[in-house]
């Protein structure tokens, strides 16, 4: 599986490099607050991909953190309910024994 990941990563990197090599035109970028002229398209592609990857990681990280917190809550609730169930099982056994002993006297 690790070899598959490495090979697919190399193929993706080669594909990205081929796309970047072919895009040599200069473009004008007009943002709201600033304007850039004669910027290589390859640089624009790399920057936009980098920003997209960072946003994707941030969204994934927030999802993972919230899922771990939820899992932690469920584990503590499960532990509390298991302890309560075990204590109720033991109480029922002890009360039954004491009732029989009191009834015999």
DSSP character string of 50-70: HHHHHHHHHHHHHHHHHHHHH
Closest CA to 30 of 17, 44, 19: 44
* This prediction's pTM: 0.61
pLDDT at 100 over 90: no
Domain that holds residue 57: 2-104
CA separation for the pair 13, 22 (Å, rounded): 14
Rg value, the chain, Cα: 32
Q: Does 67 or 97 have the greater pLDDT score?
A: 67
Residue 20: predicted pLDDT:
86
Mean pLDDT of 12-36: 89
| CB atoms inside a 10 Å sphere around CB 16 | 14
pLDDT over 60 at 102, yes or no: no
Distance separating alpha carbons of residues 40 and 87, to the nearest angstrom: 71
Whether 97 shows a pLDDT value over 70: the answer reads: no
Q: How many domains does the chain have?
A: 1
């Amino acid at each position: 599986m690790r070899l598959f990941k490495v090979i697919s990563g190399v193929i993706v990197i080669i594909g990205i490099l081929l796309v970047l090599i072919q895009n040599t035109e200069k473009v004008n970028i007009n943002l709201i607050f600033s304007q850039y002229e004669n910027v290589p398209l390859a640089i624009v592609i790399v920057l936009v991909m980098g920003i997209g990857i960072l946003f994707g990681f941030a969204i994934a990280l927030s999802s993972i953190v919230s899922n771990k917190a939820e899992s932690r809550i469920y584990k503590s609730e499960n532990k509390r309910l298991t302890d309560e169930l075990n204590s109720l099982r033991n109480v029922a056994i002890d009360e039954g024994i004491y009732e029989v002993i009191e009834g015999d006297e």
